[in-house]
Amino acid sequence: ITADTVPLITALRGLAGVGYAIATVASLEYLIERQPGHDRARAMTTFVVVVIGGTFAGTALGGILADRLGYGPVFAIGAFMVVVAAVLAWRSLEPTVDPADGGETVRFGSSDVVGVLRDSRLMALLAGVTVPMNVALAAFLWYLVPLTLTAAGESTSVVGRTLMLYYLAVLVAGPLIARLGGARIGTPLLVGAGALISGAAMFAPVVSSATLVVSLAVTGVGLGHAAIRAPQLSLAIGLGEARRTTAGRGATLAVMRMLERLGSLAGLLLAAILLAGSDLAVATAAVAMAVSVAAVAYLASVLVTVRRVKHA
């Protein structure tokens, strides 16, 4: 509310990001502890829908309030809501470990993180799907799309409505795709196909910067990510639990969140560097190509694994 310099805003935003990361990982751990294994995919879908729904509603409501009240009151309202949510969570959530039973909180260390990084199946998922998804979000959705629409002469409100198509697609299609797609083709193939769809959709603005084409591209990326967000969480957790330790699962979530943020940072840097030396079409094509190649590589690794299992 009181920050008025770029360094201070950057530092406070970074602090908020740290808190968000801690809360997200803790929420997932709590959900996993409370949810039976056979219902985990549905639980992950619900978690993603709630997060995306909050982002969708918060962005729209924040924009309306900012136009009417200004930025300061919006930040104040947001801070108040976060404090209320924290108090409700603290008072309502039960501990996942009962001290009376002699239980201890499970912690993971650097060796568990190294173990995750050495797991070829996990790294294939993270490098082929998780990181590219965040590259697409940061570089394409949050950076290149607004610049493309602005260069085409569209207003800020049109840019905002176009970006909302992504969250709407994930919110509406996510539960349906996760339920039907995972049952028909399997979770690994589903997330790989979603990554490939999102990469292919990003090529559309390279051909035309018309608002309708960009809107269709944003929707396509959203539909691709609808097949990724919840299923990849369930898949990563399952692979982490295959390490037969709760610490392995916690380390998996931590590494996953860390690589997501690094993917967002790398995506923004890549787009900015390409844009500085070329134009919007070239930068968009490069990001789309990177995401598509990673998706193809992941799908190839999944098919190789499936063949090995069949011939075993």
Which range of 1-15, 52-66, 108-122, 132-146 scores highest in mean pLDDT? It is 132-146
Which tens digit of pLDDT belongs to each residue from 253-299? Answer: 778 878 888 888 888 888 889 888 888 999 999 999 999 999 999 99
Which tens digit of pLDDT belongs to each residue from 183-223? Answer: 666 888 889 999 999 999 999 999 999 999 999 999 999 99
DSSP per-residue codes, 167-194: HHHHHHHHHHHHHHHHHHH-HHHHHHHH
pLDDT of residue 109: 60
User: Who wins on pLDDT, 206 or 35?
Assistant: 206
Q: Is 77 exposed, middle or buried (0-12, 13-18, 19+ CB in 10 A)?
A: middle
Cα-based angle 200, 163, 277 (whole degrees, multiple of 5): 60
- Region for residue 186 given its phi and psi (left: phi exceeds 0; alpha: psi -120 to 50; beta: otherwise): left
SS3 state at 312: coil
pLDDT of residue 99: 43
**Residue 296: partners with Cβ closer than 8 Å, 6 or more residues away:** 196
Q: What is the pTM of this model?
A: 0.76
Cβ(225)–Cβ(263) below 8 Å: no
Which tens digit of pLDDT belongs to each residue from 5-32? Answer: 888 888 888 888 778 777 777 777 777 6
Which of 34-56 are b and which e, b meaning 16 or more Cβ less than 10 Å from the residue's Cβ? ebeeeebbebbbbbbbebbeeeb
User: Who wins on pLDDT, 153 or 93?
Assistant: 153
* Mean pLDDT of all residues in 167-178: 82
The region of weakest confidence among 5-14, 16-25, 61-70, 99-108 is: 99-108
| Average pLDDT of the chain to the nearest whole number | 81
Q: How many CB atoms lie within 10 A of CB 241?
A: 16
Distance from C-alpha of 184 to C-alpha of 216, rounded to nearest angstrom: 26
pLDDT of residue 183: 61
